[in-house]
Structure 1
């Protein structure tokens, strides 16, 4: 597990504890016990006291914002207890990006939080000769011509792996591997879109963001602020609690229906930009995830353009 992953797990625990500390004095709150909670607690306890303090401040800032958006958290009426849980990693592999769930089972209400520690990536997908990204992302298989294009690249990477080669010793890795692989990826994405009109843009967002609404929490330590974004694509966030209304209104987001452009980021040989309608733009930066050469490459996927309706707030730690 990388340091970034460990700190991410620790931050999940800090966020869970912040919700509990804020609400447990006024209502019955139950933290559900599972292996994901134990892992997150361990990572939090292994962090330095300074890092724990930063995580606590970052989490507290986020929860201040979310309490203004979700009156069901603070207005239980007879709908108790409030259940809090950290999701197992397998849920993310199944397309649910939420790390923490807040649930009231009596009225089937829940919200989810996606917790990010000093980064805003939405996905870390891979490409290889055995990965059919069309099937995995959209439920529509890639063409045979795509695999005919990419297989020689991964065959060469396999040979380099067997030789024990390191990425830092490959001086022309972008022109040799990144560019041709991304060109094949672009052609296949365009082909899938052309053959399945009106389907691929929305399924791309479903793959990246899942099929559940959620709040994205991003702690930014060097600025001592936490960003909260509301990905309210299905209209399940920001609901009333009886007569209690949210202090801030969060609008439902429009999903994309078509691509405007798919191409390399200007001046880049490792990043593809996918521009869609309704304000969505996706950046896919390919890179080697390990020091040693291996026959797969990894995408760092980020939303660099979002709809104007997206609720986003920066909450300072020091109030």
Structure 2
């Protein structure tokens, strides 16, 4: 497992553990025992005790704040109102649910989720390949045959290179790979996204953000060296709810989803990055790259949120420096 992924899993476990430790003193808590929990726990215990302590300390600051702004975490209706904590499988991200740690109260028909990030802010790492219909997967609308007629010959050439080298040829051996691979693939993607948007503008605008940013409301918790950042993606108004007359200590406003794509164009002086601007102050970058050092008929996006509505709640908490 890659180091960044291992660190992310360890941080997920630290957040769940801090939720449990703090909330079981206030309400009945049940941790769902599943394979994602086992994996996250193994990753956590794969670090030395000093690193584990750092994860737990950072998670503790974040969890304390979340308890303050989510009264339903610590308040139950009666003894049947159990708070369940669960780590979700990564496969949920494939359908747009980016939450890693879930807190659920079935009796209250309520849940919140946390997306745990270890020192990075990327929103998605989606792939393009001859077998992936990004329109259907992301937006619920099939890509056109024209799109595949543009990208498939390029992927076919890559597959041929892979086959002829017995899978040993590297991307570095391709001269002008931006010109013959990245840029034409990006142009085809750009044209197809524009076509899909033109056919159903408001829905595609909204769906693009919902798939890439998150199909469910959630808190993004980003661990940094000596701080932790909490962002509230309250796109549908399901976060920050009161419990009876107990109000959250801070308000996280609802953010407006976009209704228009204003522009899709290449980043200035770049052959590998598209910038997508939407209304309501949403802006995304799509950087395409090879996911492996060895040639394969597949490419990967590094998708980042460059701008979000000013109503997006963000709070950064300082964490004591390591001794």
Q: TM (normalized to structure 2)? A: 0.94
1:69 aligns to what?
Answer: 69
The farther-off stretch of 76-85 and 206-215 is 76-85
**Is contact 1:251-1:310 (8 Å) kept?**
yes
Distance 1:217 1:143, change over 3 A: same
**Is contact 1:61-1:225 (8 Å) kept?**
no
In structure 1, list runs of 5 or more residues that go unmatched. Answer: none
**Secondary structure of 2:315 counterpart:** strand
Instruction: Choose the corresponding residue for 2:256, options 221, 230, 254.
Output: 254
5 Å-filtered alignment, 1:231-270, equals: 231-270=233-272
In structure 2, list runs of 5 or more residues that go unmatched. Answer: none
**Is contact 2:197-2:204 (8 Å) kept?**
yes
**Is contact 1:75-1:244 (8 Å) kept?**
no
2:192 aligns to what?
Answer: 188
**Secondary structure of 2:280 counterpart:** helix
Deviation per residue, 1:79-135 (Å, 9 max, x gap): 632111111223222321111111112111111111111111111111111211111
1:124 aligns to what?
Answer: 125
5 Å-filtered alignment, 1:28-107, equals: 28-78=28-78, 80-107=81-108
Deviation per residue, 1:114-170 (Å, 9 max, x gap): 111111111111111121111111111111111111112111111221222101223
**Is contact 1:69-1:246 (8 Å) kept?**
yes
Q: Give me the whole-angstrom Cα distance separating, in 1, the residues matched to 2:5 and 2:180.
A: 30
The farther-off stretch of 139-148 and 90-99 is 90-99
**Secondary structure of 1:286 counterpart:** strand
Q: Runs of at least 4 residues of structure 1 off by over 4 A?
A: none
> Are residues 1:293 and 2:279 paired?
no
Q: Give me the whole-angstrom Cα distance separating, in 2, the residues matched to 1:226 and 1:5.
A: 18
**Is contact 2:139-2:208 (8 Å) kept?**
yes
Q: Give me the whole-angstrom Cα distance separating, in 2, the residues matched to 1:146 and 1:281.
A: 24
Deviation per residue, 1:33-52 (Å, 9 max, x gap): 11111111011001222321
**Is contact 2:201-2:261 (8 Å) kept?**
no
Q: Give me the whole-angstrom Cα distance separating, in 1, the residues matched to 2:197 and 2:23.
A: 47
Q: Give me the whole-angstrom Cα distance separating, in 1, the residues matched to 2:77 and 2:264.
A: 50
**Secondary structure of 1:110 counterpart:** strand
- Cα distance, 1:212 vs. partner? 1.3
**Secondary structure of 1:266 counterpart:** coil
**Secondary structure of 1:199 counterpart:** helix
Distance 1:139 1:77, change over 3 A: closer
Instruction: Choose the corresponding residue for 1:317, options 307, 310, 319.
Output: 319
**Secondary structure of 1:83 counterpart:** strand
- Cα distance, 1:26 vs. partner? 2.6
After superposition, the CA RMSD in angstroms is 1.5
**Is contact 2:151-2:188 (8 Å) kept?**
yes
- Cα distance, 1:53 vs. partner? 2.2
- Cα distance, 1:77 vs. partner? 4.5
Q: Give me the whole-angstrom Cα distance separating, in 1, the residues matched to 2:201 and 2:150.
A: 24
Q: Give me the whole-angstrom Cα distance separating, in 2, the residues matched to 1:106 and 1:199.
A: 33
- Cα distance, 1:171 vs. partner? 4.1
**Is contact 1:149-1:184 (8 Å) kept?**
yes
**Is contact 2:26-2:75 (8 Å) kept?**
no
Q: Give me the whole-angstrom Cα distance separating, in 2, the residues matched to 1:130 and 1:196.
A: 24
**Secondary structure of 2:186 counterpart:** helix
> Are residues 1:226 and 2:228 paired?
yes
**Secondary structure of 1:188 counterpart:** helix
